[in-house]
């Protein structure tokens, strides 16, 4: 099993690595990278919540035929993410065996971790962006001309300020908060992150008790970002990252909200619990030195009725759901 150490502050707090590649792919190409069908390859791990956001957005917006998808092995070795799920261990679109090679093609002196999601320029084989917060926003805006008919408005102009506000606190306390719990190296840092995480989950429960979605009456970018953490909560974060005040299944409002999204096309059909559990429990030797992957929890509960329709709301607004994968 490979050891992947976390970066921590002197107080034992988890510090997330900054994104190195932050160039944007734009509609008009003014950034130097123009949104074009077939030009780029989105590389993800189905285990990773940050990458999962882009998979959901790509599905909801109908960009599958425009932006190809590469999926890495949920387990990493010393060179990082590998394409061992593909024939001969090579990504069929780029020919890469390791995502690291695309990073080094973009910066030969790069020495950080090779993270997903990453958008690779197919012709040059180099990473254009690994800026996961901006990536999904750009899929909604800069790639709009390629959206499917009936694609939902995930980042509508009139709601952007509120979506950004919600995203900021959800990132700080929940999305990144579970990692701050799991990778803390002091009791004090862990407890600060733990308290902030569950205080935020309590406030989100209060917010969602009377409204079906986080912002407005349709699914937005805010729901995607919260969902990718919630869907991993009981399978990984509750035990592995010591986020154990409650399980998600013990938080009635959030559990119903998460099931509502899971049962919405584009969400649950992009979840792979096997990849999630194998990645978390097998690649963090400092947290789980035995590498044993738990057999539970039972995922069947995700398909039980949630009752959230009673709150109203229109998941896709004036749009339509994506077709289920064949």
Binding residues for glutathione: 81, 113-116
| Active-site annotation, residues | 48, 179
Compute φ and ψ for 42, nearest 5 degrees: -90, 120
Tell me the C-alpha distance between 304 and 281, whole Å: 27
Cα 14–Cα 175–Cα 189 angle in degrees, nearest 5: 30
CB 321, CB 264: distance < 8 Å: yes
Tell me the C-alpha distance between 96 and 271, whole Å: 24
Beta bridge pairs of residue 71: 44
SS3 250: helix
Half-sphere exposure of 19 toward its Cβ, with a 13 Å CA cutoff? 18
Residue that is written with structure tokens 């009981």 in the block: 234
Tell me the C-alpha distance between 60 and 58, whole Å: 6
- E strand segments, the chain: 40-44, 68-71, 118-121, 126-129
Tell me the C-alpha distance between 323 and 222, whole Å: 22
Residue that is written with structure tokens 């001969």 in the block: 88
95-103: long-range contacts at Cβ-Cβ below 8 A with a sequence spacing of 24 or more? 95/125, 96/70, 96/120, 96/125, 99/43, 99/72, 101/125, 102/43, 102/126, 102/127, 103/20, 103/21, 103/127
CB 80, CB 105: distance < 8 Å: no
């Amino acid at each position: 099993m490979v050891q992947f150490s976390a970066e921590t502050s002197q107080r034992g707090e988890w510090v997330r690595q900054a994104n190195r590649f932050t160039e944007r792919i734009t509609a008009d190409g003014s950034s130097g990278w123009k949104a074009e069908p077939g030009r780029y390859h989105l590389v993800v791990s189905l285990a990773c919540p940050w990458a999962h956001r882009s998979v959901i957005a790509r599905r909801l917006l109908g960009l599958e035929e425009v932006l190809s998808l590469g999926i890495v092995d949920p387990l990493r070795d010393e060179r990082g993410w590998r394409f061992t799920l593909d024939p001969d261990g090579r990504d069929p679109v780029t020919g890469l065996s390791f995502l690291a090679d695309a990073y080094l093609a973009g910066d030969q002196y790069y020495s950080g971790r090779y993270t997903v999601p990453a958008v690779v320029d197919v012709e040059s084989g180099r990473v254009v962006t690994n800026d996961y917060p901006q990536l999904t926003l750009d899929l909604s805006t800069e790639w709009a001309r390629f959206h499917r008919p009936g694609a939902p408005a995930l980042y509508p102009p009139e709601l952007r300020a509120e979506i950004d506000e919600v995203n900021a606190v959800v990132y700080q306390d929940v999305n990144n908060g579970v990692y701050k719990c799991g990778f803390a190296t002091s009791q004090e840092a862990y407890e600060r992150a733990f308290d902030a995480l569950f205080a935020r989950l309590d406030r989100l429960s209060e917010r969602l008790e009377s409204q079906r979605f986080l912002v407005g009456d349709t699914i937005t970018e805010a729901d995607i970002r919260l969902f990718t953490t919630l869907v991993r909560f009981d399978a990984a974060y509750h035990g592995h990252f010591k986020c154990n005040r409650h399980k998600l299944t013990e938080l009635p409002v959030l559990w119903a909200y998460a099931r509502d999204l899971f049962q919405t096309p584009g969400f649950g059909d992009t979840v792979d619990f096997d990849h999630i559990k194998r990645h978390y429990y097998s690649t963090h030797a400092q947290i789980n030195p035995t590498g044993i992957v738990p057999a539970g929890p039972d995922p069947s509960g995700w398909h039980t009725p949630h009752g959230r329709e009673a709150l109203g709301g229109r998941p896709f607004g004036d749009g339509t759901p994506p077709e289920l994968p064949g």
